[in-house]
Each structure stands twice: as C-alpha cells, then as structure tokens.
C-alpha cells in the first residue's frame, strides 16, 4: 500500500455512541468512510454514511463497539493506519491544546475524568484498547475544553476563593471541537457574520451555547463540568447548589446517587417523565412533555441574551448539532422568543433547515450550519503528525 493510502482514523466516543471516520492524509479530503454505533448499552445499531440501513450489533460499551468495528472487513479499523484521533471531553486546566498522547498525558486525562464521568473514561477505554490492538500507532487527544481556554477572567471564574481556582475549579466550557468547526465554516458559509459577535447553539442530547467574537470563544454556557448550562437529554443543566445540599441533608442521598441523578434522571427525560428525545416530546400532547420542550426553548433563548451581554452585542446566530440542525419547531420557537433582538424568521427557509433561516429584512441573521467534530479531530491529528 502506498503512502497515499495511509489513513487517519477518528473516534468520537460518547456515553452511548461511538462515531468513526477514516480520512486520507491529504488535507481537507472527504472521508473514506464514516458512521456510528448508536444505542450502546441497549439496542445498539451500526450506521454507515450514505446508507439508510442500520445493522443491530452487540455492544454493551464503547469499548465493545470498538471491537465490533475491528471485526468488520474493510471497516474503519482496516488499512494502513497512520494515527488515531480521539475526542476527549475534559482536558482540565493544563491540557489546553491537542497533543499526541503518551503515558503522562493519559494520567493527566484520568485525573480530571471525574469532571466528565460520562465521556472521559469511555474515551480512554477505547484509546487504550486500540493501543493494544495497534502497538506503535500514535494517538492524538483532542480536547473539547481547549477552544475555550482564552476566556476573560470574569467568564472563567466562580465566586469562590482563589485557592480553589488555582486548583482547577473554574469554568471550562465544552463542545469546543464543534465550535472550532463552526468558527471555521462561518468564514466561507456565512462571511457576513464570521468576524462579528455570534451566538452558536450546539443543541443535542448534550447541549451548550458559545459566544464567538471574530471566531474566538469569549464565553460559554457550560462551566466546571458538562452538567452546567442548558437542560439536556438526561442532564439537569444549571441548578441551584442548594438543591444538592437539600437532597443530601433532607433525603439522605449519597454523592453517587446525586451524581447518577444529575447525569441520567434529569433534563428532558426527568421533566417530561416520557423521553429524552425532543422529537418524541414535540409529538406528545402530555402536559409535562410540552413543559419540557418549552423549558428547553426558554433557556436556549435566555442564554442567547446572556451571551449577547458577554459580547457587548450580537451580529448573528448559528444553530448546530442534532436538535439545532434537524428540529425546525425548536429553531422557530427560539427565534420567536428572540424577536426583540431583531430576528425575523423565514418560515419556509427554516423548514428547509440549511443556510440562512431569517428573512432579508431581519436585522440580525440566523443560520443552520451542520457541525463536523470528526473533521476537526482529523485536522488536528494530521497537524500533530506533521510537527513530529
């Protein structure tokens, strides 16, 4: 196999999914293949890009999903692999840029894994499994927190003693790989707002929002952990710390029970008592389902206003990720709540769901831009290989 046949393999490990993509070493080339194992731990399904078909697989964990991929003939883990690239959600205070992972790096990632218990441990498990399968092949660790490390101090700190800040208790922000992609995509897809003040809403089962000024993050809705900010599929979002004290003091809940509750039993699932899937909730007449959707919309719009204050104004809005890219009703309801800022929704464009979704007379433009975290990881991995 020639040098041009070598590939970068990207693994984007979630709590219940494993996205994958293989790229040639040629910069910005389209992926050779991509797909996802979804529903891990339940009714897992293997999906390939370009195909509507799904295939049931046995995958009780992301590591088991990786083993499924390794067994596929001509799958993502075949061929001449030059390097693996991994999404690592939390890099802590020190890992503020992508790195080729060594033992010391993995130890540092493990040290901050309690701050991202749904993501860091599973990503490390996949990475270490691949190290055993492919000895000598380098691994790039690309951090969701890195893109936000330039925040001003007032957006980076909590109102707690400085000693705790120095120990790493600070606002990190997440979904940075997604925001990094959007910041770059705006330069070609929405040049009229790319250099301005833009709120980007990464709305999915995990959800956050980011304030971009000239493509740089200056504030984010998420903080110390990926629990903060917007309500999510099963995560609570922002919550008065007194609620945690009350659960422990009055109900006698252990730390482990509180952690499981906040990550798995809250958000859209907890509010509705029905589902974590916004599509199910939008199709339901149940009062609590309607309340959960309205709560999600309300806090998305509320956060947009707060981030506009962080930037000292707003020139544009971008929806991305699963809900942001695919839910026209949610986009419409958010922008209708933001009409006071100058958004004028184009209903037909919103239903189409790509590009500009506000009318020509809208004082501020809103767009839908699909994100591509795997592309960012591939870019970072290729750059790290080139710098060795």
* Active site residue ranges: 144
Place of tokens 């993502």: 76
Q: How far apart are CA 296 and CA 274, in angstroms?
A: 15
* Contact (CB, 8 A) for 7 and 25: yes
Q: DSSP for 324-352, please give it.
A: HHH-HHHHHHHHHHTGGGT--B-HHHHHH
Q: How far apart are CA 343 and CA 361, in angstroms?
A: 9
Which of these, 155, 165, 163, lies nearest to 223 by C-alpha position? 155
Tell me the two tokens of residue 46: 């293997």
The β-bridge relationship of strands 7-13 and 81-88 is: parallel
| Ordered alpha helix ranges (H), 235-340 | 241-250, 255-264, 267-272, 278-282, 287-311, 321-326, 328-337
HSE toward the beta carbon, residue 227, CA cutoff 13 A: 22
| Ordered alpha helix ranges (H), 79-234 | 103-112, 120-133, 153-156, 162-166, 176-189, 191-194
- For 93, phi then psi, to 5°, come to -75, -20
Q: How far apart are CA 10 and CA 249, in angstroms?
A: 44
Q: How far apart are CA 356 and CA 334, in angstroms?
A: 15
Which of these, 300, 384, 357, 319, lies nearest to 178 by C-alpha position? 319
* Longest CA span, the chain: 66
Q: How far apart are CA 346 and CA 352, in angstroms?
A: 10
Q: DSSP for 101-146, please give it.
A: --HHHHHHHHHHGGGSTTTHHHHHHHHHHHHHHSTT--EEEEETTG
Start-to-end CA distance of the chain, whole Å, equals 22
């Amino acid at each position: 196999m020639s040098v041009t046949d070598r590939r970068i393999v990207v693994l984007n490990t979630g709590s219940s999914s494993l996205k994958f993509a293989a790229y040639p070493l040629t910069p910005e080339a389209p992926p050779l293949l991509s797909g996802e194992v979804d529903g891990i731990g339940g009714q897992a399904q293997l999906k390939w890009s370009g195909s509507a078909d799904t295939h049931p697989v046995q995958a009780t964990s992301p590591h088991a999903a990786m083993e499924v991929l390794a067994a596929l003939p001509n799958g993502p883990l075949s061929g001449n692999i030059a390097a693996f690239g991994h999404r690592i959600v939390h890099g802590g205070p020190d890992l503020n840029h992508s790195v080729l992972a060594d033992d010391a790096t993995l130890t540092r990632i493990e040290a901050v894994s309690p701050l991202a218990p749904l993501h860091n441990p599973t990503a490390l498990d996949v990475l270490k499994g691949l190290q055993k399968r492919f000895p000598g092949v380098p691994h790039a660790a690309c951090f969701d927190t890195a893109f936000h490390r330039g925040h001003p101090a007032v957006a980076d700190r909590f109102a707690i003693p400085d000693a705790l800040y120095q120990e790493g208790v600070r606002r990190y922000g997440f979904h940075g790989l997604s925001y990094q992609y959007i910041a770059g995509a705006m330069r070609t897809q929405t040049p009229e707002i790319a250099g301005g003040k833009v709120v980007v809403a990464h709305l999915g089962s995990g959800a956050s929002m980011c304030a971009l000024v000239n493509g740089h993050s200056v504030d984010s809705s998420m903080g110390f952990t990926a629990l903060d900010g917007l309500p999510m599929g099963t995560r609570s979002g922002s919550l008065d710390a007194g609620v945690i004290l009350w659960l422990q003091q009055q109900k006698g809940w252990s730390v482990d029970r509180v952690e499981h509750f906040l990550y798995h039993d809250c958000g859209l699932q907890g509010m509705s008592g029905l589902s974590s899937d916004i599509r199910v909730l939008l199709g339901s007449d149940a009062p609590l389902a309607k309340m959960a959707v309205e709560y999600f919309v309300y806090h998305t719009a509320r956060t947009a206003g707060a981030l506009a204050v962080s930037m000292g104004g707003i020139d544009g809005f971008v929806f991305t990720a699963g809900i942001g890219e695919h839910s026209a009703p949610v986009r419409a309801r958010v922008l209708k709540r933001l009409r006071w800022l100058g958004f004028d929704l184009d209903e037909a464009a919103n239903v189409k769901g790509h590009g500009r979704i506000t009318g020509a007379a809208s004082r501020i433009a809103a767009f839908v831009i699909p994100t591509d975290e795997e592309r960012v990881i591939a870019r970072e991995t290729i750059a790290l290989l080139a710098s060795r």
